[in-house]
Structure 1
Amino acid sequence: MPNFRLWLTAVIACRIFSSALSQMEHCDICTCEVDKKVLLLNCSGVKTRPGDYFGFIRQPNPDIYDHYTFDTIEANFESNRIKKLTRLSLLGISALSLARNEIAAIDSGTFLELKTLKTLSLKNNKLETVNQKSFQGLSDLEVLDLSENMLKKLSPGIFTFLKSLRTLSLSHNMIESLDGKVFAIPTLQTLDISRNSINGIGLDIFENADNLITLNLSSNKLSTVDKFMFASVETFDLSFNKIATVEPHAFSNLKSLKWLSLSRNNLTEVALQELGDNLKNLRLQELHVQRNYLQTLEVNGSRLKVLNVSSNVVTSFPTAGYTALEALDLSHNQLHSVPTGLTGLQMPALRWLNLDNNPITDVRFPIAGKEEQDGEIFVNLTWVSLSHMGDVQKLAAGAFSGEFLMPMSQPQILSLARSAV
């Protein structure tokens, strides 16, 4: 009986192994399998065959996989130490990854035969420059990843042949300035230029980018926010720059803007006065200005739902005009008292409030509009944090009970961790 069990186990293991091999087979120097009529061609980390030239891409012989039934090919040539790209000939390919190689140049016409390609990754290579002919033939390309390279300059017209491009990543490069109509791509929706060394942006850089929705310019060296000309952007990230000045009407054309981050910059009260005027007529719903040098903030954001002003030097916070605000973070500032107007009619939608790490000594919530809405103060507030307040000496009688918090529609959370109460 033990021998029979051993035999049965061996048979089952062989069948499982055979099944796995039938799903993924060797195709010349690669492995391949078909999933939902897509041929997945994995040629990453392959060894050089006799006769191969070192540093060039090693393509499998198409005869090896022509017995498969598939509609398209997705090919992976990552980590092959490829140094130079010459013309590729993978017919029917829709996705190609050449990431994590040593590619320093792309010959003109390299992708000319890949007319069905929709996704191309050249991430983490050694590209120092690309030109207009580098992407010739890729009229159907929708996603292009050029991140983590050594690009220093983008010439106008380099993306001219990319008539269908929707997503472009240029993050983690060495780009210092943007000039000319580099991004004149009407189909472009998402653009990531974060983590470069950009210190200036030309006024016409985004001309004709009429469908741009998401723009990431974070972690650069911008010191001034000039007037942006696109009206379609909904998400705009300018965090981790050196912005100290916001030019008049810098955001006035961004009529669709919903999410904006200016966190971790050098903004002061003076700069924010103009920012407030810029945002007055926008559809902005979420604003992040944490880790700046703000003493106060007056945005008049009647449509704002989320506002993060944490880690500044705020000593006062005017509460008028925030009728839609649901979440407010005022932690790590210099507030000595709870701002008047955090309750009642001025902020009727407020649900989440963080006042951690402020030198508040006497916690009380002054009621604004009590006579108009008596008994419905803080009706939506469900989370309050007053943690890490070493200067708190007392909670005012009734500060979190009775008319101050009733009636409450949902359970509440109150945090007083590491406070001196």
Structure 2
Amino acid sequence: MKLFSKVIVFIVCLGLVLAAEDDQNKNNTSNATGEDGQPKADAPTEEKELPNGLCSTCNCDAAKKLFDCSSAKLYKLFNMTEWLTLNASGVATDTMLLDRNGIASVPQFPLLDVKILDLSHNNISTIAKKAFIGLSNLEVLDLSYNMLTSNNLIPEIFEGSYNPDEYLPLEKLRVLRLGNNQLHSLDQDLFEHMPNLEELSLVSNVFKVIDRLSETAIASVKTLRSLDLSYMELLSIPEYIFNAPQGLEYLNLTGNLLTTIPEALIYATHLKWLSLDENPIDNIQGDHVFPTLKSLEYLSLSYITPLKMIGRGAFSNLEGLKEVHICNNPEFSFFHADAFVRSDPDEPTRKIWPLVKKLYLHNNNLSTLDAQTLARWDNMDVIDMRVNPWNCDCQNQWLVETLLPQIEKTTPEIMNNVVCATPKQMAGVSMVDLEHKHSQMRCVDKYGNNPQNDGALLIGLLIGLLAGIPLTAALIMIYKRGCFGLVRRGPADFSRAFYSRATNDDY
């Protein structure tokens, strides 16, 4: 009987336990589904619980489609398994930043939908062949500030997927930055897998000379629109390097060792932007002027220590100029009045000037500026003439009457430091003050003197002369009359007065 009672109790307890578990399962089901039996929106899904190791190491910004591993102390790139966690997470990545790490080599990337890849500021010296073949949408590749040399930067690195019309192209790549590496030459076929390359930067690679292989490589990029050859210590530019890339619009030659305007520019017929800053060019005149560049709008000739003069016709072939920078040239003292002007081909007697809107001439050694240098000063947006040793005489009166009011109207913030240096009596006087006072500046003579300052002296001399004539006459008369008896003559004077020499007839 006792045994039967125990069995009954066990069965009842087991029923209670099973009933409790059933209720719990029902509660879980009701929490995960709505009244219609469909899963609730906030119910956890298996996809959201997938691990993503890369996004725990780096910053994944889904809204900006950004994968940011900048300055993450990486010394090697992730392996294929780790890359797959990024793909599995479903985080879209347009921009991948892997800059400012210690990465020494670049293996082949997996299939990634990346448009911008930044590998700059690393220690990269080797890159695997076909390293970017999986990045079929890559548009911008930055490999600057690394340890790449001419021997290990080979064309096979940039091989893309097969295309029947192109040779294994990275067909969407538009921008390639190779600046600040250890390159001194380029493989002549380096860009053969980049049929649509538009922007190339080689800044701060010490080439010194663009050899035939490098010239062939650059000239082969027919789609090139922007080329940065700055700070490469170039002594010259090959004559035909711009012949093939007919669409070149931006050219940076800053910081090289060019002593004249490169003749190669004659083939850059579509150029719009040009910088020759920091080159040892001492003058632009005679045979060393700019070739015909009708599309050129921006020109900079600044920080050129030896530059002394810009002569007649220097810019006459640049009819499209809109912005000109000639600044911070400590020896630049002569700017010819006809530097910009050209003759109308249909009417040679008619003169034409470019419609320059911005002219920067600050921090030079200019003392004069001719009013005919440009035609429409009144239409200009910026005229910067600060920090020059201006000569405040009548030749520069137009600066006070015409130019300074235009500066005050357009850019009053750059009116300071327009100061007279000569003549010495005007040294330190603000030309702005002269303009506000409507002052008239005088002319100097060929010796640098102001004739108007001689007026008082001339008047004094004239008065002295007029007063001295009667006084001198009076003194002579007094002397002849013996000072009105004040001076007594001696016997000798009288004997000589009445003595006359005898003639021969008297004998």
- The TM-score, its normalising length taken from structure 1, stands at 0.70
* Matched AA of 2:197: L
Q: Are residues 37 and 302 of structure 1, via their aligned partners in 2, closer, same or farther at CA, if it must alter by over 3 Å? A: closer
1:329 maps to which of 359, 384, 408:
384
User: By how many angstroms is 1:32 displaced?
Assistant: 5.2
Contact 1:181 1:206 in 2 (8 A): no
Q: Are residues 395 and 309 of structure 1, via their aligned partners in 2, closer, same or farther at CA, if it must alter by over 3 Å? A: closer
CA-to-aligned-CA distance 1:259-302 (integer Å, 9 cap, x gap): 11111112222xx225x343355211111122332222132344
Q: Which has the higher helix share?
A: 2
Q: Which residue of 2 aligns with 1:58?
A: 78
Contact 2:292 2:318 in 1 (8 A): no
Q: How many aligned residue pairs are there?
A: 347
Does residue 356 (structure 1) correspond to residue 418 (structure 2)? The answer is yes
Q: Which residue of 1 aligns with 2:155?
A: 132
Contact 2:325 2:360 in 1 (8 A): yes
Q: Which residue of 2 aligns with 1:381?
A: none
Q: Which residue of 1 aligns with 2:308?
A: 268
Q: Which residue of 1 aligns with 2:198?
A: 166
Q: Distance in 1 between matches of 2:60 and 2:363?
A: 52
Q: Which residue of 1 aligns with 2:233?
A: 197
CA-to-aligned-CA distance 1:11-31 (integer Å, 9 cap, x gap): xxxxxxxxxx99x96327743
Q: Are residues 357 and 37 of structure 1, via their aligned partners in 2, closer, same or farther at CA, if it must alter by over 3 Å? A: closer
2:315 maps to which of 266, 269, 278:
278
Q: Are residues 29 and 335 of structure 1, via their aligned partners in 2, closer, same or farther at CA, if it must alter by over 3 Å? A: same
Q: Distance in 2 between matches of 1:231 and 1:225?
A: 15
The runs of 5 or more residues in structure 2 that have no matched partner are 1-47, 161-169, 341-352, 441-507
Q: Which residue of 1 aligns with 2:32?
A: none
User: By how many angstroms is 1:69 displaced?
Assistant: 3.4
Q: Are residues 26 and 132 of structure 1, via their aligned partners in 2, closer, same or farther at CA, if it must alter by over 3 Å? A: closer
Does residue 400 (structure 1) correspond to residue 423 (structure 2)? The answer is no
Q: Are residues 392 and 160 of structure 1, via their aligned partners in 2, closer, same or farther at CA, if it must alter by over 3 Å? A: same
Q: Distance in 1 between matches of 2:386 and 2:55?
A: 60
Q: Distance in 2 between matches of 1:346 and 1:286?
A: 17
Does residue 306 (structure 1) correspond to residue 344 (structure 2)? The answer is no
The structure whose Rg is larger is 2
* Matched AA of 1:342: L
Q: Distance in 2 between matches of 1:187 and 1:109?
A: 22
User: By how many angstroms is 1:78 displaced?
Assistant: 2.7
Q: Distance in 1 between matches of 2:55 and 2:406?
A: 63
Q: Are residues 249 and 70 of structure 1, via their aligned partners in 2, closer, same or farther at CA, if it must alter by over 3 Å? A: farther
Q: Which residue of 1 aligns with 2:177?
A: 145
Q: Are residues 340 and 93 of structure 1, via their aligned partners in 2, closer, same or farther at CA, if it must alter by over 3 Å? A: same
Q: Which residue of 2 aligns with 1:288?
A: 325
Contact 2:417 2:430 in 1 (8 A): no
Q: Which residue of 1 aligns with 2:443?
A: none
Does residue 342 (structure 1) correspond to residue 365 (structure 2)? The answer is no
The 5 A counterparts of 1:5-404 are 26-27=53-54, 30-31=57-58, 33-36=60-63, 38=65, 40=67, 42=69, 45-46=72-73, 56-59=76-79, 61=81, 62-69=83-90, 72-129=93-150, 130-137=153-160, 138-179=170-211, 180-184=215-219, 185-227=221-263, 228=265, 229-246=267-284, 248=287, 250-265=289-304, 266-269=306-309, 272-273=310-311, 276-292=313-329, 293-298=331-336, 299-300=339-340, 301-325=353-377, 326=380, 327-337=382-392, 339-342=396-399, 351-352=410-411, 356-361=418-423, 390-392=427-429, 399-400=435-436
Q: Distance in 1 between matches of 2:179 and 2:124?
A: 13
Contact 2:52 2:86 in 1 (8 A): no
Contact 1:331 1:358 in 2 (8 A): no
User: By how many angstroms is 1:107 displaced?
Assistant: 3.8
Q: Distance in 1 between matches of 2:437 and 2:398?
A: 17
Q: Distance in 2 between matches of 1:346 and 1:394?
A: 11
Contact 1:41 1:73 in 2 (8 A): no
Q: Distance in 1 between matches of 2:431 and 2:293?
A: 46
Q: Distance in 2 between matches of 1:360 and 1:223?
A: 32
Q: Are residues 393 and 115 of structure 1, via their aligned partners in 2, closer, same or farther at CA, if it must alter by over 3 Å? A: closer
Q: Which has the higher strand share?
A: 1
Q: Distance in 1 between matches of 2:428 and 2:88?
A: 76
Q: Distance in 2 between matches of 1:332 and 1:341?
A: 18
User: By how many angstroms is 1:236 displaced?
Assistant: 0.9
CA RMSD of the aligned region, Å?
A: 3.6
User: By how many angstroms is 1:73 displaced?
Assistant: 4.4
Q: Distance in 1 between matches of 2:320 and 2:110?
A: 48
SS of match in other structure, 1:40? strand
Contact 1:249 1:278 in 2 (8 A): no
Calculate percent identity across the aligned residue pairs: 24
Q: Distance in 2 between matches of 1:100 and 1:395?
A: 48
Q: Distance in 2 between matches of 1:87 and 1:322?
A: 57
User: By how many angstroms is 1:125 displaced?
Assistant: 0.8
Q: Distance in 1 between matches of 2:283 and 2:429?
A: 36
- The TM-score, its normalising length taken from structure 2, stands at 0.59
* Matched AA of 1:173: N
SS of match in other structure, 1:93? coil
* Matched AA of 2:273: T
Contact 1:252 1:282 in 2 (8 A): no
Q: Distance in 2 between matches of 1:141 and 1:305?
A: 35
Q: Are residues 287 and 79 of structure 1, via their aligned partners in 2, closer, same or farther at CA, if it must alter by over 3 Å? A: closer
Q: Are residues 133 and 319 of structure 1, via their aligned partners in 2, closer, same or farther at CA, if it must alter by over 3 Å? A: farther
Q: Are residues 177 and 63 of structure 1, via their aligned partners in 2, closer, same or farther at CA, if it must alter by over 3 Å? A: same
